[in-house]
Amino acid sequence: MVNKIKDIVINTLSKGWATLSEVSFAYQMKNETWVTQKRESYDRGDGATALLYNKEKKTVILTKQFRISSFLNGNASGFVVETCAGMLDADEPKACILREIEEETGYKVHAVTPLFEAYSSPGALTEKLYYFMAEYSEAMKVSEGGGLDSEHEDIEVLELPFSEALVMLNNGEIQDLKTIVLLQYAQLNKLFD
């Protein structure tokens, strides 16, 4: 049996960097009874993320930047180690991630491998992330990276041995979900074997 939804009413609570809406709707349960539910949904658009890797050196490129939401939820420094990522805006996922890789890491890669797409936290966010892998080399370095001044980005670029990134993952230094997913994907698929 397919569940059904009807009588959707969306009220915008806040519209700034993203849109916070209150949504009420009728939902048909498995037992065929209808219930009315009310939820808040946060829409900031979709994004793309990529793990940059160098097979010869057995390294990955990660970034480190201040994230206010992590600070508000117990991360004493507020800094998060993560894969480069960005919002799609009006771009297709591939164009977005190629742009973000160059802006954030300083590497101009020419090809990315699409892996999958997944909802970040579907209980509260509309965001879908497009996941990629991209091989880099020193010849592709065109700048220091660090993000755009116009967007007030202050990003530290980290080139790490893959083995060290896995240690950081296992000891809790990496707590960003998209980064965990991509590092584990690389490990499961024996990227460096």
Is residue 128, in this structure, part of any structural domain at all?
yes
Query: Do 31 and 70 belong together in one domain?
Result: no
* Average of per-residue pLDDT across 89-102: 95
pTM over 0.85: yes
Looking at residue 82, which CATH number applies to its domain?
A: 3.90.79.10
pLDDT at 146: 81
* Average of per-residue pLDDT across 152-171: 94
Query: Do 81 and 147 belong together in one domain?
Result: yes
* Helix runs in the chain, H state only: 68-72, 93-105, 162-170, 177-188
Per the structure, the count of domains in the chain is 2
Contacts (Cβ under 8 Å, ≥6 apart) of 139:
none
Is residue 140, in this structure, part of any structural domain at all?
yes
Is residue 69, in this structure, part of any structural domain at all?
yes
- Tell whether the model's pLDDT for residue 41 goes beyond 60: yes
Query: Do 159 and 64 belong together in one domain?
Result: yes
* Average of per-residue pLDDT across 172-189: 97
pLDDT at 126: 93
Query: Do 74 and 164 belong together in one domain?
Result: yes
Query: Do 30 and 62 belong together in one domain?
Result: no
Q: Which of 94, 62, 95, 96 is nearest to 80 (CA)?
A: 62
- Per-residue pLDDT of 58-80, as tens digits, reads 999 999 999 999 999 999 999 99
Query: Do 82 and 157 belong together in one domain?
Result: yes
* Helix runs in 1-155, H state only: 68-72, 93-105
Query: Do 18 and 112 belong together in one domain?
Result: no
What whole-number distance in Å separates Cα of residue 134 and Cα of residue 97? 10
Query: Do 17 and 84 belong together in one domain?
Result: no
- Per-residue pLDDT of 1-39, as tens digits, reads 466 899 999 999 999 889 999 999 999 998 999 999 999
Question: Are 173 and 68 spatial neighbours (Cβ–Cβ below 8 Å)?
Answer: no
pLDDT at 100: 95
Question: Are 155 and 65 spatial neighbours (Cβ–Cβ below 8 Å)?
Answer: yes
pLDDT at 137: 97
Query: Do 102 and 133 belong together in one domain?
Result: yes
pLDDT at 3: 66
Is residue 141, in this structure, part of any structural domain at all?
yes
- The parent domain of residue 23 ranges over 5-43
Is residue 160, in this structure, part of any structural domain at all?
yes
Query: Do 132 and 60 belong together in one domain?
Result: yes
pLDDT at 1: 46
Question: Are 26 and 128 spatial neighbours (Cβ–Cβ below 8 Å)?
Answer: no
Query: Do 63 and 111 belong together in one domain?
Result: yes
In sequence order, the β-bridge partners of residue 117 are 130
Is residue 193, in this structure, part of any structural domain at all?
no
Query: Do 125 and 153 belong together in one domain?
Result: yes
Question: Are 59 and 159 spatial neighbours (Cβ–Cβ below 8 Å)?
Answer: yes
Is residue 184, in this structure, part of any structural domain at all?
yes
- Per-residue pLDDT of 112-158, as tens digits, reads 999 999 999 999 999 999 999 999 999 999 998 888 777 777 899 99
* Average of per-residue pLDDT across 86-99: 95
